[in-house]
Amino acid sequence: MFENFEFVNPLFFWLFLLLPLLILWYVWKRKKQTAALKISSTKGFKTKNNWLARLRPLLFIFRIVALSALIVAMARPRTVDESTQTKTTSGIDIVIAIDVSASMLARDLKPNRLEALKTVAARFINARPNDRIGLVEYAGESYTKTPLTSDKSIVLSSLKNITYNNVIEGGTAIGMGLATSVNRLKESKAKSKVIILLTDGVNNSGFIDPKIASELAVEFEIKVYTIGLGTNGMALSPIGIRPDGGFQYGNQQVEIDEELLKEIATTTGGKYFRATSSTKLAEIYEEINKLETTEIEEFKYTNYDEMYRPWALLALGLLALEFLLRYTVFRSFV
């Protein structure tokens, strides 16, 4: 209730310490000003209750309340309503190109490479609220999973639905995955255009050479960050299909064309990373998140509703009432 309420000059509340002194002074002075007449008997006098005399202390009460209201007014109470508006001054368009070949089901990352990637990529997407993001899938061929959009719920839903399937031609077409990503960004008017290309293999499929795709990225001023995914040495990977349709797993040598990925990154002004664990993959996405920052301008609007006027009017009214009563109803010549 009072979270948006404040006093601009709260030091004035120290004046409340003077009020008890004023009350003591009033009591002491009243005793001294009260006239006393000593007589042996009052039988010869006709007594009558004087209600005005009993109500006279109300004048002092009015004055005390008026002073209290004046102190509150000087403390300047007010309510504060703050609102902010952000404006993206330099947005970034990002396409995440994801290798969905069978080798992405290798279990050197938990539960497997593809699921580990999806978990980390989701955190990355949530950390980019002001950018447009798109998704590209590729194996032996490539296609756009989600075009560039600022609706993160659509991107996250599409990311969640990415799974390995045998509909896409087998293999790893790095050149085609990169070319499709470039095609998504070539018409972009964003200040910065970025592709995050992830693979766990070598370019062994597709009809577009990765180097040609890199040159296209340079032509359209697109920066490419490449990530080689997989542990060093052997990894438990799919090596065949069982009669029930499930994969048969066995240890296979991890083979990543790191030289190609480094060349793509260097040519386009990006950077190459090697993710040998889920933790390392998360650190890579965090580093990319820091490298590609979006300039955001924030406008803050503050609305103040001053509330000292009612207190000041109350104090003025009580003082006027006290003055009026003192010199009319309670007028005294003593």
pLDDT per residue over 133-147, tens digit each? 999 999 989 999 999
- The two beta strands, 272-275 and 222-229, are parallel
Task: Name the most confidently modeled range: 63-67, 133-137, 311-315.
Answer: 133-137
pLDDT bracket for residue 334 (50, 70, 90) = very low
Q: pLDDT per residue over 189-224, tens digit each?
A: 888 899 999 999 899 888 899 999 999 999 999 999
Residue 333 has pLDDT above 50, yes or no: no
Residue 252 has pLDDT above 70, yes or no: yes
294: confidence class by pLDDT, cuts 50, 70, 90: low
Give CA–CA dist 13/2, Å, rounded.
18
Q: What is the domain partition of the chain in residue ranges?
A: 7-31+52-77+307-334, 86-297
Which of 116-120, 165-169, 252-256, 288-292 comes out lowest in average pLDDT? 165-169
Q: Which two tokens stand for residue 19?
A: 């009020």
Q: Would you state the pLDDT for residue 330?
A: 73
- The predicted model gives 269-277 an average pLDDT of 93
Give residues with Cβ within 8 angstroms of 106, minimum separation 6.
112, 113, 200, 230, 235, 236, 237, 238, 252, 254
CATH fold of the domain at 86-297? Rossmann fold (3.40.50)
The pLDDT assigned to 122 comes to 95
Whether 45 shows a pLDDT value over 80: the answer reads no
